[in-house]
Amino acid sequence: MAQQLNRLNDVFFKYLLGDTKKKFLTLSFINGILNRTDDMLFIDLEFLDKEMTPIMQDGKVSVLDIRAKMNDGTQVNIEVQVCKDPDMARRSLYYWAKMYGSELREGEPYDKLMPAISINLMDFNAFAQYTTCHHSYHICNDETKDILIDDLEMHFIELEKIRIGDIRKLRKSERWIAYFSHQCSDEEREVLAMSEPAIKEAMKCEMYFTQDEKLRRKYEIQEKARRDYISMMHNIEKSRTEGWQKGLEEGRAEGLAEGREEGRAEGRKEGREEGRLEERKRLTEQTVATMLQEGLSHELIARIMGLPEETVHAIAAAQPAPATE
């Protein structure tokens, strides 16, 4: 493969981390990203979705997820997203919730629920407020930051934000982030491989992958779809920007000529609208007053008129006191 390998390509990613024969690589990735060590290490997993069908967006493959159950029952979902999605956080939380509840059968107690972890690898910047690349979330007390329950854990990784520096000093979680990031050169990956056996094995897998003609063909099809999608979105954004700029300039020119007349017309229009609102308000107050005189309760009037009960209270308070004999 002459061009540089895109390790986020769904064909390659599934080949590397979605294959039962290479699940030790998936375990290394998950344990590394989650910073699990010693007794906390996951030691085995079972892939839950054998097909691992990528999610489609706008007709193009843009999201791939790999779901696995760990040896202690914890479910982990690894998602790769290459196209920016403004609703990414909500969608990720939605799919986390579905994953969390999927193992509980009807009638089973809630203590059967097992932790669910979502790992999102993103080939774009999604959190402008952060300069770091790895963001983890749990359910916490707002004041004390105590975690309510360990069952929810979500990780968002912005691959473009990693700052590699001295490749030899990266933490275990950072090594896998660097491996998948475009910021990391092949030479730096060679250095990574010296300190991380799993990454060394991953680089061997790269060689086997590029020599497999069938896999390479699938890879190229996916790369073409990705490039076409990026080009299409770029052209749409360019057309939108150019159209907005042209419209702005034309609007300014027309506004100079028509501004005064439109201003006068707008003033007359606003005056008429204010008059209609005042008349509507007067009629509403009159109707409420009549209902009050008939002895209807404030709650019933509010329901009939579709008004807040506080509005009925205010109208009632403004009514003149009944004359006394």
Q: Could you read off the pLDDT of 140-175 as tens digits, one per residue?
A: 999 999 999 999 999 999 999 998 888 888 888 899
Non-local (6+) Cβ contacts of 311 within 8 A are 302
Q: What's the rounded Cα separation, in Å, for the pair 232 and 235?
A: 5
Q: Could you read off the pLDDT of 25-46 as tens digits, one per residue?
A: 999 999 999 999 989 999 999 9
Residue 62: per-residue pLDDT: 46
Non-local (6+) Cβ contacts of 16 within 8 A are 7, 22, 25, 202, 205, 209
Of 154, 163, 153, 178, the closest CA to residue 130 belongs to 163
- Count Cα neighbours of 63 within 13 Å in the Cβ-side half-sphere: 17
Q: Could you read off the pLDDT of 84-111 as tens digits, one per residue?
A: 777 888 889 999 999 999 888 888 999 9
Copy the structure tokens of residue 201.
């094995």
Residue 224: per-residue pLDDT: 84
Residue 75 near residue 99 (C-beta atoms within 8 A): yes
pTM of the model: 0.70
Q: What percent of the chain has pLDDT over 90?
A: 46
The pLDDT of residue 219 is above 60: yes
Residue 275 near residue 283 (C-beta atoms within 8 A): no
Q: Could you read off the pLDDT of 50-94 as tens digits, one per residue?
A: 554 554 444 444 456 899 999 999 999 999 988 777 788 888 999
One-letter amino acid identity for 4?
Q
Q: What's the rounded Cα separation, in Å, for the pair 107 and 205?
A: 45
Residue 61: per-residue pLDDT: 45
Q: What's the rounded Cα separation, in Å, for the pair 300 and 309?
A: 9
Copy the structure tokens of residue 22.
């290479």
The pLDDT of residue 19 is above 50: yes
**Residue corresponding to tokens 């896999």:** 215
Higher pLDDT, 39 or 302: 39
The pLDDT of residue 300 is above 60: yes
In sequence order, the β-bridge partners of residue 45 are 70
Residue 2: per-residue pLDDT: 52
Copy the structure tokens of residue 164.
């590699």
Higher pLDDT, 53 or 205: 205
